[in-house]
Amino acid sequence: AKPVVILKLARNRTAEHIDMGVLSDHIKTALIQSGTFSFLDKDARQEIADEYEYQGSGYVDPTEAVGPGRQKAADYYLGYTITSTVQEVGNDKVIYYKTTFELTDIATTEIVWTDHKEIVKRFRKKSIGF
C-alpha cells in the first residue's frame, strides 16, 4: 500500500508574494501521478463531518448514507519552506530560490526524508539614459 500523506501548510520566507496554494497543488499532483503516495484532504475534514451528520439525520436513505469510521489515517506530514537570497552586482540582479522539503513520520515525529530544490532567476536592470 502507498504511504498516506497530509500536506502541511507551506511557509513562504521570501520577500515576495508567492501563491503557496497553487504551488502545493503542483506538488500534490506530481506526487500522486508518480504513484508513490496518496494524499488526505485535510481541508475537507469539517465539511465531511458536516455531511456525515446530515446523512445520519434521517433525510437520507439509511441504506445509502455514508458515515464516519472509514477514513484513512495519515502516515506522514509533508512540509516545505521557500526562502530566497538576492545578489546584485552592477546591472545584474540574481535571486536564488530554495525550497526545502521535509517528510515527518506522524507516529514517531522523526523526519524520515528531506531534500531541497533550487531555482535561479537572473535579471538585467534597465538603465535610464538621456
Query: From CA 65, how far away is CA 51, in angstroms rounded?
Result: 10
State yes or no: pLDDT of 32 exceeds 80. Answer: yes
pLDDT band at 24 (very low <50, low <70, confident <90, very high): very high
Neighbour count for residue 76 (Cβ, 10 Å): 20
Query: From CA 9, how far away is CA 15, in angstroms rounded?
Result: 18
- Greater pLDDT, 128 or 90: 90
pLDDT given at position 130: 58
Average pLDDT, stretch 50-61? 96
Query: Bridge partners of 101?
Result: 80, 115
State yes or no: pLDDT of 63 exceeds 80. Answer: yes
Neighbour count for residue 8 (Cβ, 10 Å): 16
Please give the model's pTM, rounded to 2 decimal places: 0.79
Q: Which residues, 6 or more positions from 56, have their beta carbon under 8 angstroms from its beta carbon?
A: 65, 67
Region label for 44, one of left (φ > 0), alpha (ψ between -120 and 50) or beta (otherwise) = alpha
